[in-house]
Amino acid sequence: MIGRAAWILCALLCLLLLFGNLEGVSRDEDRVLAVAQNMEAAFKRVEDYSCDVGLTCYQEGVEKQRYRFKFYYKKEKKIRVDFFHPHPGLTIFYKDADKKATVVPFRSLPALKFQLSVYNPAMKTLAGQRINQTDMGYFINFLLINLKKVKQKESAFYEDEERVEFLLWALDYIKERSLEKYRISISKKYWLPIRIERYSSEDKLLEVSNIKDYVLNAQIEDKFFLP
């Protein structure tokens, strides 16, 4: 009789722990959704922005390549990327209306240029990300979509006066097929990401992006986005 009572008590404790964990995940999902909505609202007020990006790509958990570049964006999805490493002097221009990117291999020789489709393999990162998937508007939409349709397997949420950090389970950024995990840090000054860590479902590190020196609404002229 005592053994049966102990078994029942143990089962009840397990259920309490399970439901407590589910409640915690649900609460963190609500917090992350609120952050994503703040980001969406803040980005609607952004006419243009620039930032410095350091991107490190990994294969099988081992560092494969590092990139360093300056990213510029202006509505309606005009993009310019000035590379410093590993292709110093290379600039890519993109306008969403064209669906093509213009590549200038050397900024000192602006007349030397050629166009490529955004689907050309040469226009993708090691992970397969296209240039029209690189702006923060796309990233915010990615957050909102996955918060609605992907069940969160675990959660973590941290907040202080300057930033918010959280975990997000999402379908992969490229083909929306594989489940991946993202650890994301958001600046509360701009409501934009300052660090994004991307992991496989097996918890292998795939990418780390460090983003800094945001400048918002600097009234960048349209000609700056013309090759």
Q: How far apart are CA 94 and CA 29, in angstroms?
A: 34
Band of pLDDT at residue 5, cut at 50, 70 and 90: low
Architecture of the domain spanning 29-225 = Clam (2.50)
Predicted confidence at residue 104, as pLDDT, reads 97
Instruction: Scan for tokens 């083909």, then name that residue.
Output: 175
Predicted confidence at residue 216, as pLDDT, reads 98
Mean pLDDT rounded to a whole number for the chain: 88
Percent of the chain, pLDDT > 90?
70
Band of pLDDT at residue 155, cut at 50, 70 and 90: confident
Average pLDDT over residues 69-80: 96
